[in-house]
Amino acid sequence: MQIQEMKGDIGEICKRLNVKVTWLKPTDLGVNCANAKAKVIKVREISNTGDYAAALHEIGHTQCDADHKPEPGEGSVLQECRAWQWAIDQRGPKFDSAAWGRIGNGLKKYLKKARIDEGSAPSQCKEIMKRVEEHSVYAAPTPASLVPAKKRS
């Protein structure tokens, strides 16, 4: 998807779900956030698929957590997992490695903040991390200068 398509898709989803979106410019202070009860999100302008996934994640909070108060520790991790799962359910097939990387980095950050190691994470979080690993792309080319030269006979 092109950037304008992703931004348009977020706008259409918000309109359909009656979610008010405020687009943050790169120079604006603040981070992506959602007020689930008020159905309001603030998200950075989309510049890549990671931003797109993050915007979907914030919409997910308005759909999954509107009746839940913010919880400490494992509860907050579960809220984050629910929002990421909602985003994946909506547009996961359109995600590339940048989007999946954003999901993985986000979950790791929430786990660290809650002082939960990945091995002790809630099962829903582990399932998402497994999908992140399945979709991650690692292709580190070996520079020719590091490849040993073939011996001449």
pLDDT digits (tens, 9 = 90+) for 43-72: 999 999 999 999 999 999 999 976 766 666
HSE-CB of 117 using CA atoms within 13 angstroms? 1
Q: Is residue 61 part of a domain?
A: yes
Domain range for 113: 3-146
CA distance 102 to 46: 13
Residue 84 CA to residue 92 CA, distance in Å, equals 10
Confidence band of 2 (pLDDT split at 50, 70, 90): very high
Please check the confidence at residue 140 and state whether its pLDDT lies above 60: no
pTM of the model: 0.84
Q: Is position 151 within any domain?
A: no
Q: What is the pLDDT of residue 129?
A: 93
Domain count, the chain: 1
Residue 95 lies in a domain: yes
pLDDT in tens, 80-103: 999 999 999 999 999 999 999 999
